[in-house]
Structure 1
Amino acid sequence: MSNYSTLQKDFYRESGKWLSKFEIWAKCVNPNLHFIYILRKTQHYKKKSVMGMFWRMVLRHHQIKYGYQIYPETEIGEGFYLGHWGSLVINPKAKIGKNCNIAQGVTIGQQNRGKYEGFPVIDDEVWIGTNAVIVGGVHIGSNVLIAPNSYVNFDVPANSVVMGNPGKIYPKEDATEGYINHKI
């Protein structure tokens, strides 16, 4: 799998098939995949290069068009999957691991004071449901499912499910089984 690009790995998550560059481009009729394509192209180029500035302008247009507030500075692992088209806010200093799914209405943001001041770090194979909020300098372990409408401002250990507002942690070994398909 190391011969495949990050973009190919992102698109693999959607279909479970390795796609050529042309097939990837053709799948960009899907707004979620189109945005990921533009985001990864923008991340590929240096900020102040001509191509970097071009792709940043294209990305900005599509941030407004699709309602995704995700910046090229955000560290996002391979196999990134946006489940639905709709508003989404991810702080540029947040870190997201491999094979993560994020639904619409999610906020991953900073906290400016208190015990968890800072930005979230999210490990591999995390599924984040609709309208979930993750804020502060918290660490979300691998194989974690964050249920829709959950509020998370605390660390979450690996192999867990978080539900509710305020969130409550439930240990579960197969937390994301059946939720994260076509892992790379």
Structure 2
Amino acid sequence: MSYTIIQKDFYRESGKWLSTFQIWKKCLNPNLHFIYIFRKTQKYNKTPFLGLYWRIVLRHFQIKYGFQIYPETEIGEGFYLGHWGSLVINPKAKIGKNCNIAQGVTIGQQNRGKNVGYPVIGDEVWIGPNAVIVGKITIGNNVLVAPNAYVNFDVPENSIVAGNPANIFPNENATDGYINNKI
């Protein structure tokens, strides 16, 4: 069976494949509601009338919930927001599949220095509360970014990155128990 990207995102929360009606019921949760609207906006972004409609709806809920995520942002399936409020992701950042992002996170642009640009984040990455990831850097697959970490350098896969300034700790099981219901 072929599942939609919305079903794959919602699977991460429940571990169950949901019908359209079941997805609507889950939209009482602000995190899931925002993901639903975000994905609809991405789907219809190039359509004149529906694209404008969904952009207006998305803007309303960006303000209401505190998520600053734009439809241009490339985010893989299985996206999961741990908590709602105060989240900023630059529209040129790229995020892989099965990624968790907690509240207070900034994934942004660096305007000067050797890493001018935007982050590319791999698959199965857990980003803890208040972490900051900036610049033209790459975060590998299976990486745990600890709460309050400041990351402005490349991080290899299978690592934990923690601290301010951040340090890398190799770990084959970096995200075990943190990323559930992978697709």
TM-score (norm: length of structure 1): 0.98
**Partner of residue 164, structure 1:** 163
Q: CA deviation at 1:85?
A: 1.0
Deviations 1:141-180 (A, max 9, x none): 0000000000000000000000000000000000000000
Deviations 1:66-101 (A, max 9, x none): 000000000000000000011100000000000000
Deviations 1:20-43 (A, max 9, x none): 011001100000000000000000
Q: Distance in 2 between matches of 1:159 and 1:133?
A: 19
**Partner of residue 31, structure 1:** 30
**Structure 1 runs (4+) greater than 2 angstroms displaced:** none
Q: Distance in 2 between matches of 1:28 and 1:61?
A: 15
Does residue 41 (structure 1) correspond to residue 45 (structure 2)? The answer is no
- How many residues are aligned here? 183
| Amino acid in structure 2 at the alignment position of 1:54 | Y
Q: Distance in 2 between matches of 1:163 and 1:112?
A: 23
Does residue 11 (structure 1) correspond to residue 10 (structure 2)? The answer is yes
SS in 1 for 2:123: coil
SS in 2 for 1:145: strand
Does residue 126 (structure 1) correspond to residue 125 (structure 2)? The answer is yes
| Amino acid in structure 1 at the alignment position of 2:113 | G
Deviations 1:82-130 (A, max 9, x none): 0001110000000000000000000000001111110000000000000
Q: Distance in 1 between matches of 2:171 and 2:125?
A: 13
| Amino acid in structure 2 at the alignment position of 1:164 | G
TM-score (norm: length of structure 2): 0.99
CA RMSD between the two structures: 0.8
Q: Distance in 1 between matches of 2:152 and 2:48?
A: 37
Q: Distance in 1 between matches of 2:10 and 2:104?
A: 21
Q: Distance in 1 between matches of 2:20 and 2:96?
A: 24
Deviations 1:124-143 (A, max 9, x none): 00000000000000000000
| Amino acid in structure 2 at the alignment position of 1:61 | H
Q: Distance in 1 between matches of 2:148 and 2:173?
A: 21
SS in 1 for 2:27: helix
Q: Which runs of 5+ in 2 are unaligned?
A: none
| Amino acid in structure 1 at the alignment position of 2:154 | D
Alignment of 1:88-167 (within 5 A): 88-167=87-166
Q: CA deviation at 1:48?
A: 5.3
Q: Distance in 1 between matches of 2:45 and 2:38?
A: 13
SS in 1 for 2:12: helix
